[in-house]
Structure 1
Amino acid sequence: MDKEQSNFPKDFFKQFKSKEDFQSFFSSLYKEGVEEMLKAEMDEHLGYEKHSAEGRNSGNSRNGSYPKKVKTESLGDMVLNIPRDRKSDFEPQLIPKGQRMSDKLEEAIIGMYSRGMTTSDISEQVKEAYGVDVSEGTISNVTNKIIEHVKEWQNRPLEQVYFTVWMDGIVLKVKQNGKYINKCIYLVIGLKKDGIKEILGMWMAETESASFWMSVLTDLKARGVEDILIACTDNLKGFTDAIKGVFPDTVTQLCIVHQIRNSCKYVVWKDRKSFCADLKEVYAAPNRDAAEHALTGLSDKWEHKYKHAISSWKTNWDNLTNYFDYPLELRKIIYTTNTIENVNRGIRKYIKTKVQFTDDMSAQKAVYLALMNIERKWNATMHNWGLVLHQFLTIFESRCRL
């Protein structure tokens, strides 16, 4: 291929004594070119060129220009003169109104924010990587755009049926009325009929309660969910009643892992190994009858010493043992809320530098971005899905609605 001939004279570049000189020239050239293109946009908008006789009775005309600071990917900050018209309805396409930096840079800022970087860290990183000074306030404004995505995502339509949902909350420190308090972000993950998990939404309140969970479930129903086959939850008082109040046919399975932890906190360290071995005979039993027999043995041996460690098993026995009604493959899916606890760990990993949040919005932004990063990896069906799907279809028949 022949080398293209330069349009510049041979000695043109000799006038530049340094890289900075050339960059200054190139910036001026770029500025001039963009401003001429903007003027051409104005000509097209008005329908006539400047000083043309056609504009005398057009009903609109040029009205000078205003300076606007923009951020370019290679030349840093630049002040451009943006033309305006008397009707103020000129919308430049080259430099849209309200746009102050390139989309690529905005995406980079949001990407860094989603990975737990603070606004000051992002400001320093942008300066180093792009050579652009971006204030922490600007970064906050950029990331605030995420809230619109959060609203759209939170109100999107959902599937009619979820085979399983896991429900739990994560507690964060959020500033309110001048002091930092604990606030709970409620999360729901659903297993779809294609075997892939989906985060159904997040809701925020000061404390985790059964009444608020009912409002969460009502929201799911309003967004199109007609049935949930099995719900796996922690042992929050009233949780099962809240679920039944919205989805009366749903089977509720209390998380066995939560229950084990709750029991062990009443047992002193020297007895814990022996107690846990006996407790395993209960939850790892082959069927409900064997589990009930093991619970009787556990009670006879330990209840006189650790009454509270055993009483909740008896009180919640029906909802703790529903998983015994299903094949082993389904039991592995529904006996614990580990699915959602893994998500909570993922959230904490992404927000580990943000131990406190200045307001609800900043907490929601951070959690939403963490959730999107986590969910992006959920692109494969659940293990052994063909067999699991067959079991769901056999047990729940028409409720699956494939």
Structure 2
Amino acid sequence: MLTPDDDKTGSESAADVMASLRSSGALDEVMAKIDAGQLQITGEGGFLQEMVKAVLERGLNTELTSHLGYDKGDPAGRLLPNARNGTSAKTVASEVGDIELAIPRDRDGTFTPTLIPKGVRRIGGLDEMIISLYANGMTIRDIEHHLITTIGTEISRETISKITDSVLDEVMIWQKRPLDEIYPILFLDAIQVKIRDGHQVRNKAAHIAVGVDLDGVKHVLGIWVQATEGAKFWAGVCAELANRGVKDVLIACTDGLTGFDDAISATWKNTTIQTCTVHLIRASMRFVAYGERKKIAAELRRIYTAPTAEAAEDALTAFKESELGRRHPHTVATWDNAWERFIPFLAFPPELRKIIYTTNAIESLNYQLRKIIKNRGHFPNDQAAVKLLWLAICNIEDKRARERAKLAADRTRPRDGKMVNRLVEGASVNGWKQALATLVLNYPDRLDPYIN
């Protein structure tokens, strides 16, 4: 079915046609019956359903006229070898409900309609509606019930599953698409998903990588469900990114993933690995009583806001030797174990520090994804999990793209910095020009070939 924006050149838009009908009074009788309750707009037998039926059947008859070479009722048709031969019934599902169509036939059986091709049972963007519902977190059972109760269309769960599976090819293309040669900053974070493994349901980590390109724009590079632990899994992820064109990563920000350091070093030997300070603080607070958390947080702040690595080490030593530190050896051990991965960002000025000290650049995205996957008890396999996460990311970014367009169009409205900061795909890192200048000073040999 045509949308209001289809083929605007050389023809009126739907809005123009509707305005013309209103001004001519052609809709007055219809509106009067709707107001009187004599005619319903949607649902079975509704005005929209009958309108779509009339448009489709008229189009089908026009196609048959073109195929046969004569108009319906034209006596000349009697002299031609092929002619009309009644109709056959066909029910198609649409956005306005099930529509019963009378498909015209010819005697020779050579007519093949293009408006409603043979075998097609869904029209008018219904597949896109189902995929959108799925991407927003509805289960297949939920979608089945939603379609029946809202538009009166009954579609089997098997069909709904096949419709959502139709995007798998797009997922594979997206997951294997070429990438830039260099990403100054790479963020890695994970969310937990439940996936069936044989007769058991296991918790697996779905890792999402977001790369910041030379223009400071963030891109989701891929989704990987961790099938094996440690270095073997991360070696595969890094190898995949390298095979897709990534030749260098300056700084990789993670939350202390096991085996990731070795895999990064083996793929891009000069990459600086920075552990997420926010994750480190959370881990060190795990066994701290609520009443002492504010005191410990104040002590830890002196460490991660220190001007240099040496000053940070002095602050950690002071915390170790304090009564508070002696009562919480787990907190001290957490910082000791992560120290080499924590201190790299302290070598940079504040404009770069605030970008790389945490993986919060993708925390908002993960928050949205968790809301979507919580409706599912578990996924049947890794592929199903990746499919939903990809659809959800596309859906989230489509909404955020509209937000960006709205902000750009409304020049009189003050820009909401917080809303802009939360955008991921296609959004720019705040203060990127100053951060890039710092990176160029620290990594001139690696950035100059791409900057100049």
Query: TM-score, with normalisation over the residues of structure 2?
Result: 0.73
Residues 1:266 and 1:94: Cα distance change in structure 2 (over 3 Å): same
Residues 1:86 and 1:398: Cα distance change in structure 2 (over 3 Å): farther
Q: CA deviation at 1:226?
A: 0.8
Q: Does 1:224 align with 2:271?
A: no
Match of 1:244 among 254, 265, 275: 265
Q: Which residue of 1 aligns with 2:434?
A: 387
Residues 1:157 and 1:71: Cα distance change in structure 2 (over 3 Å): same
Q: CA deviation at 1:34?
A: 4.8
**Segment drifting more, 136-145 vs 254-263:** 136-145
Q: Which residue of 1 aligns with 2:394?
A: 372
Match of 2:344 among 322, 325, 340: 322
Distance 1:69 1:176 in 2: 40
Q: Which residue of 2 aligns with 1:124?
A: 145
Q: Which residue of 1 aligns with 2:360?
A: 338
Q: CA deviation at 1:375?
A: 3.3
Q: CA deviation at 1:112?
A: 1.7
Q: CA deviation at 1:354?
A: 2.1
Distance 1:78 1:29 in 2: 10
Q: CA deviation at 1:151?
A: 1.0
Q: CA deviation at 1:129?
A: 3.9
Q: Which residue of 1 aligns with 2:335?
A: 313
Distance 1:67 1:152 in 2: 39
Distance 1:312 1:5 in 2: 76
Match of 2:369 among 340, 347, 365: 347
Q: CA deviation at 1:191?
A: 0.7
Aligned-residue identity in percent: 34
**Segment drifting more, 118-127 vs 33-42:** 33-42
**Contact conserved, 1:183 with 1:207, CA < 8 A, in 2?**
no
Residues 1:228 and 1:136: Cα distance change in structure 2 (over 3 Å): same
The aligned runs of 1:1-400 (5 Å cut-off) are 33-40=58-65, 69-74=91-96, 76-78=98-100, 81=103, 92-96=113-117, 99-206=120-227, 209-301=230-322, 304-376=326-398, 377=400, 378=423, 379-400=426-447
**Contact conserved, 2:49 with 2:99, CA < 8 A, in 1?**
no
Q: CA deviation at 1:275?
A: 2.7
Q: CA deviation at 1:123?
A: 2.9
Q: What is the one-letter code of the residue matched to 2:335? A: W
User: Alignment partner of 1:331: what SS?
Assistant: helix
Q: What is the one-letter code of the residue matched to 1:107? A: E
User: Alignment partner of 1:321: what SS?
Assistant: helix
**Contact conserved, 1:169 with 1:185, CA < 8 A, in 2?**
yes
**Contact conserved, 2:191 with 2:370, CA < 8 A, in 1?**
no
What root-mean-square deviation, in Å, do the aligned CA atoms of Structure 1 and Structure 2 show? 3.7
User: Alignment partner of 2:306: what SS?
Assistant: coil
Q: CA deviation at 1:252?
A: 0.6
User: Alignment partner of 1:137: what SS?
Assistant: helix
Q: What is the one-letter code of the residue matched to 1:330? A: L
Residues 1:27 and 1:388: Cα distance change in structure 2 (over 3 Å): closer
Residues 1:225 and 1:338: Cα distance change in structure 2 (over 3 Å): same
**Segment drifting more, 326-335 vs 121-130:** 121-130
Query: TM-score, with normalisation over the residues of structure 1?
Result: 0.81
Deviations 1:229-275 (A, max 9, x none): 10001112332111111111111101111111222224344443333
Higher relative contact order (CA 8 A, sep 6+): 1
Distance 1:318 1:295 in 2: 13
User: Alignment partner of 1:93: what SS?
Assistant: coil
**Contact conserved, 1:190 with 1:197, CA < 8 A, in 2?**
yes
**Segment drifting more, 74-83 vs 193-202:** 74-83
Q: What is the one-letter code of the residue matched to 1:294? A: A
Unpaired runs of 5+ residues, structure 1, are 7-17, 56-61
Residues 1:132 and 1:308: Cα distance change in structure 2 (over 3 Å): same
Distance 2:78 2:274 in 1: 74
Distance 2:382 2:155 in 1: 24
Q: What is the one-letter code of the residue matched to 1:242? A: A
Distance 2:381 2:52 in 1: 41
Between the two proteins, the alignment pairs up a number of residues equal to 381
Unpaired runs of 5+ residues, structure 2, are 1-19, 27-37, 40-44, 70-76, 401-422
